[in-house]
């Protein structure tokens, strides 16, 4: 499996992402945002960072980068696509995923471990996950509060498009386990075909026990098992 890790001006998690992917056996290349062709890649990753300095709104300028035409085509052709943190923001700004990411309810930047639960297992990203456990994956953002219209939220719930929710270590989902005020504790969502995933926590930061967790690897291993 080959992955393209897209680099925008201001991206900083590209090397971490390449490291995590290759650790799990996925060949990864960094692709500059001016590229116009992603042919030959099975997986495209929009990693975390501060694309274009997060001017205007997070991801609102990156959505116009030349590479985004190829990113959209890749997804529309059924290719796997994941946006992490700033990448999630870009996918929402581009209309590839529903909803938007707003300032944290605390109005503060938060960098901490979170625990995630998944309730959707019919996607390449989550088919290998265990519904009976939580996954320790850190978050690092100031604008990570997921907001969606009532119609979009109903669609996400009914179609099983909610990929992850913030939870306690034991799996409790509720206001007390919500680190940023996201609606319904949502930490990640799919598109309707479930080949596109956006998530705010950073799986590439949970790839070594030296970092406190290897739980992020479960997502990449799940993807690899589909190849």
221 catalytically annotated: no
C-alpha 168/C-alpha 47 separation (Å) is 25
Q: Which conformational region is residue 54 in: left (phi greater than 0), alpha (psi within -120 to 50 degrees), or beta?
A: left
C-alpha 93/C-alpha 63 separation (Å) is 6
85 catalytically annotated: yes
Q: Is 27 helix (H, G, I), strand (E, B) or coil?
A: strand
C-alpha 161/C-alpha 191 separation (Å) is 7
C-alpha 227/C-alpha 224 separation (Å) is 5
Q: How do the pLDDT tens digits run along the chain, 227 residues long?
A: 999 999 999 999 999 999 999 999 999 999 999 999 999 999 999 999 999 998 888 999 999 999 999 999 999 999 999 999 999 999 999 999 999 999 999 999 999 999 999 989 999 999 999 999 999 999 999 999 999 999 999 999 999 999 999 999 999 999 999 999 999 999 999 999 999 999 999 999 999 999 999 999 999 999 999 87
Pairing of strands 80-84, 196-199: parallel
C-alpha 9/C-alpha 90 separation (Å) is 13
Which residues are paired to 140 by β-bridges? Answer: 111
pTM exceeding 0.85: yes
**Domains, the chain, ranges and CATH?**
2-225 (3.40.50.880)
- Count Cα neighbours of 86 within 13 Å in the Cβ-side half-sphere: 26
* Active-site residue (options: 85, 141, 143, 207): 85
Token pair listed for 116: 């995630």
* Active-site residue (options: 58, 74, 204, 207): 204
Q: With contact defined as beta carbons under 8 Å apart, do 67 and 35 qualify?
A: yes
* Active-site residue (options: 33, 74, 141, 202): 202
Q: With contact defined as beta carbons under 8 Å apart, do 145 and 120 qualify?
A: no
Cα torsion angle, 73, 77, 89, 46, sign: negative
Q: Is 199 helix (H, G, I), strand (E, B) or coil?
A: strand
207 catalytically annotated: no
């Amino acid at each position: 499996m080959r992955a393209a890790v897209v680099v925008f001006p201001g991206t900083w998690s590209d090397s971490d992402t390449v490291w995590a992917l290759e650790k799990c056996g996925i060949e990864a290349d960094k692709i500059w945002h001016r590229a116009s062709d992603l042919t030959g890649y099975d997986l495209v990753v929009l990693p975390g960072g501060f694309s274009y300095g997060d001017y205007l709104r997070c991801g609102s300028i990156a959505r116009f980068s030349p590479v985004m035409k190829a990113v959209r085509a890749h997804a529309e052709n059924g290719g796997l696509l994941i946006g992490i943190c700033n990448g999630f923001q870009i996918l929402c700004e581009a209309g590839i995923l529903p909803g938007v990411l707003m300032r944290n309810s605390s109005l503060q930047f938060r960098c901490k471990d979170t625990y995630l639960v998944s309730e959707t297992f019919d996607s390449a990203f989550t088919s290998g996950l265990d519904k009976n456990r939580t996954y320790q994956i850190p978050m690092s953002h100031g604008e990570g509060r997921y907001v969606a219209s009532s119609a979009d939220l109903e669609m996400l719930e009914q179609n099983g498009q909610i990929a992850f929710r913030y939870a306690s270590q034991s799996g409790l989902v509720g206001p007390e386990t919500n680190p940023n005020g996201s609606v319904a504790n949502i930490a990640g969502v799919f598109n309707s075909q479930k080949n596109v995933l956006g998530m705010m926590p950073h799986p590439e930061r949970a790839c070594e026990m030296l970092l406190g967790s290897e739980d992020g690897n479960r997502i990449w291993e799940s993807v690899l098992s589909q190849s």
